[in-house]
A = this chain, B = another copy of it.
Amino acid sequence: MTVAGAVVDLDGTVYLDGDPIDGALAGLERLASLSDGVWFVSNNPSHSPSEYVERLEDIGFETESDRILSSGAVTTEYLADAHADDDVFVIGADGLRRQLRDAGVTLCERPAAADALLASWTTEFDYDDLVAAIRVLERDVPFYGTDPDRTFPGTDGRPIPGSGAIVRSIAETTEREPDRIFGKPSEAMVKAVLDRLPGPPEEYLVIGDRVETDVALGERAGMTTVRVRTGAEASGNVTPDHVVESLGDIERVL
C-alpha cells in the first residue's frame, strides 16, 4: 500500500486528558515524512486552529493552521459562506463565538432577529437557551450543530455533556431535527477532509481512537482507517482496516 499522508485525531490519539501520549510525537514525525504529510481533525468546537498549532508546537511538532480541521473551523467556514449576510444566534462557548466573529459571521442576541441557530458545547447552557431556541426555530430558520459528541472526558477523565447533548436537547424540545452537524463523521467534515487531500482518498490514513467518529469519518471518505487503543473503548459497528496500540506504533501499517 502507498500511503501519501494521514489525517490524525487529537484528543485520545495525540493527547489524553491534556497530556501528550507516549510515542505520539515520534508517530507524528514519521507521518510528516510521508509525501503529503499530516492533517488534524477534532470535534472540539471551542479552540481555533491557531490554538491547536500552538499546542502541537508545545510538544515539539510544527504544523500550520490550514492543516487543522476542527469542528469549529468547519462550522465557521460553512457559516461564513452560506450565511454571509445573515444574523446567527449562537448557543456555544466564547471560543466558538470568537472564531465565527473573526471570520466575519454576524452573531445576534435577539431570537426574533435570527436567520439561523447554531448549537454547540457551553457550560453556560440553561433553560433560557431552550426558550431562545424555541423562539428562533418557530420562525423555521436553519438549525445547525457544531458536532455530534454527546459527552467527552472532563478534566478528571469522567464524561461531561458535549455539543451533541445540547444539540439533541434543543432538537427534542422543539421537535426539530438539525439541518447539519459539522463535526466528525458528518458529510461536511468528510468534504472538508477530501477538499484538502491532493490524491485519491484510499492513499491516506485516518487515525483515531473513536470508531463512531474517527473510523466512521474515514470509511465515509473512502480512506484507510486505523484505530488506536489509547483513548475511548471500542464501540460502534464500523470495523477499522487496522488497529494499533498507539500512534507511536504507526510504522506497523506503513
Contact = CB atoms under 8 A, between A and B. Distances in A.
Interface of A: 122-128, 130-131, 134-135, 138, 150-151, 158-161, 165, 168-169, 171-173, 175
Nearest to A122: B127
Contact of A126 (B125, B151, B171, B172): B125
A150 B170 CA distance: 11
A92 to B, nearest CB: 12
Contact of A160 (B134, B151, B160, B175): B134
Given A126-B126, A131-B161, 14 more contacts: A123-B128, A125-B130, A126-B127, A134-B159, A134-B160, A134-B161, A150-B173, A151-B173, A165-B169, A165-B172, A165-B173, A169-B172, A169-B173, A171-B172
A175 B161 contact: no
Given A169-B165, A172-B169, A127 B123 contact: yes
A130 B161 contact: yes
Given A134-B151, A134-B161, A150-B173, A125 B123 contact: no
A145 to B, nearest CB: 12
Nearest to A130: B161
Given A125-B126, A127-B123, A172 B173 contact: no
